[in-house]
Amino acid sequence: MPGETVTVDLPVTNAGGTAGSYGFDVRLDGTTVATRTGSVPANTTRWVTAGVSPTTVGAHTLAVAGERVAITVAEPATLESSGLRVEPSRVAPGSPVEVSVTVANPADRPGLGNLTVRVDGETVDNRTVRLGPREERTVEFVLRIEAPGEHRVAVGGDTATVQVGDANTGDGGADDSTGEGGSGGSATDGGGEDTPGEGGSTAKTTGEPSRTTSDGGGSGFGVPAAAVALGWLLVLGLAAVRRQRRG
């Protein structure tokens, strides 16, 4: 994604009997983007990290101290959401409603998507999700709906209903039943229209910070939603390059 840094480690060896200094440029596609300088004690090898942050899609070349590494910046994979659950499906006005959905990356490259939660067509929360190749994660939201009545909760292509207050009087408490979603959809649905709910009512809804659990070892959350439109991910095997240089 834009600003993500690709790094390589380079060995700098001082074979002499006194401390020495070094300096080299870091180049991306022939343009110097950084300079590394430092000192190395006598008869010592020091590993120096150098990196670049490509911001455009396509092939790039990282050049450091005569070494060249090819970098490919590709579009992120599209994430898929499924298995929407709303618990409980009946609550008192203002009581917490837990909304969870499974997000998966079916591709062999990193994926990026925006999860949007809607209540009666109104967007009440959204989260940017980034997953590693073949990673799957459960994302959880907590909502509070004040208006009595039946409300429809939608995430991606899934929908579920929640009853706030008693169905007849608008009063009453909650039970522990569960609403489950439909067939699933894409996790990149943040640009949809806000349409009114079927019942014609407007819910005063608040969202609380989401929680996540992961079945994989990929990266977590914290990517600003504004970055989704520009989200490119880096696809290369620099870790292998690093291991070979240290071997």
113, 106 Cβ separation under 8 angstroms: no
Q: How many residues in the chain?
A: 247
User: Which fold, 80-227?
Assistant: Immunoglobulin-like (2.60.40)
Q: Residue 1: its pLDDT value, please? A: 54
Q: How many CB atoms lie within 10 A of CB 72?
A: 13
- What is the domain class of 6-75+233-246 according to CATH? mainly beta
CA distances from 247 to 45, 49, 64, 236, 240 (A): 13, 16, 19, 20, 10
List pLDDT tens digits, range 78-98: 999 999 999 999 999 999 999
- CATH 2.60.40.10 residue ranges of the chain are 80-227
Q: What is the DSSP letter of 244?
A: H
Structure tokens at 225: 């939603």
N- to C-terminal Cα separation, the chain: 30
Q: Tell me the sheet residues that pair with 38.
A: 22
Helix or strand run (H / E) with residue 130: strand 122-131
* pLDDT surpasses 50 at 37: yes
The number of angstroms, rounded, from the C-alpha of 62 to the middle of its chain's C-alpha atoms is 26
List pLDDT tens digits, range 38-58: 999 999 999 998 888 888 888
Q: Sign of the C-alpha dihedral, residues 58, 59, 61, 62?
A: positive
Structure tokens at 75: 């579009």
Confidence of residue 182 (pLDDT cuts 50, 70, 90): very low
Mean pLDDT computed over every residue of the chain: 73
Q: What is the CA radius of gyration of the chain?
A: 25
Q: What is the mean pLDDT of residues 192-209?
A: 41
